[in-house]
């Protein structure tokens, strides 16, 4: 395994007012930062505002550069009406080459399904972009009940174990695909 850190972009996919995504993103980001060799970059779509990005603008170029520089991604997504948020789809669709030959993992939350229906649809979207999704994910069923007022998990063991598995898979894929892209650029 490479000693050089890889860049993990954590994409916060919800932009709704009153969203729960920052609680989950903060928990996951703190956890990911304890894993070597990861350098975490949080991309909050509420700040990026994908619907306002125009090709060639400074904001577009900044977003494209952050995605391009990432070696792997974790998408944090809620499930809205059995799917993922429209701003997330728009942000993904703004780019193409920047996603190619890179691994994507998922942290989802929602009602009884824990956001897993949104994740299954996102897998199809990323496959079309020639990205590799990892099998295991972190899922929070009825997430608001699982965290305390300070944003800490009441019972961290199950989510921590799932996050460790996800990060182990992402690390293998991120380092392997980064080395492969350096040896032979992807031409998909």
Give pLDDT tens digits for 141-176.
999 999 999 999 999 999 999 999 999 999 999 999
Please check the confidence at residue 108 and state whether its pLDDT lies above 60: yes
Nearest-angstrom CA–CA distance, 114 and 105: 15
Q: How far is CA 28 from CA 91, 128, 164, in A?
A: 21, 26, 10
| pLDDT confidence tier of residue 26, bands split at 50, 70 and 90 | very high
Instruction: Give the residue from 43, 33, 86, 45 showing the smallest Cα distance to 65.
Output: 43
The mean per-residue pLDDT over the stretch 68-88 comes to 97
What is the per-residue pLDDT for 2?
Answer: 53
């Amino acid at each position: 395994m490479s000693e050089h850190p890889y860049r993990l972009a954590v994409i916060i996919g919800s932009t709704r007012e009153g969203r729960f995504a920052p609680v989950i993103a903060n928990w996951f980001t703190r956890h990911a930062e304890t894993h070597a060799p990861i350098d975490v970059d949080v991309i909050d779509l509420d700040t990026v505002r994908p619907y306002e990005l125009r090709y060639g603008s400074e904001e577009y170029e900044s977003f494209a550069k952050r995605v391009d520089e990432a070696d792997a991604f974790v998408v944090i997504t809620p499930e809205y009406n059995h799917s993922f948020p429209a701003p997330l789809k728009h942000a993904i669709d703004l780019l193409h080459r920047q996603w190619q030959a890179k691994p994507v993992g998922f942290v989802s939350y929602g009602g009884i399904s824990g956001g897993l229906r949104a994740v299954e649809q996102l897998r199809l979207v990323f496959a079309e972009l020639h990205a590799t999704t990892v099998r295991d994910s972190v899922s929070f069923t009825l997430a608001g009940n699982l965290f305390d007022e300070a944003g800490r998990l009441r019972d961290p063991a199950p989510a921590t174990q799932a996050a460790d598995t996800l990060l182990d898979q992402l690390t293998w894929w991120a380092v392997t695909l980064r080395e492969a892209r350096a040896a032979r650029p992807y031409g998909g």
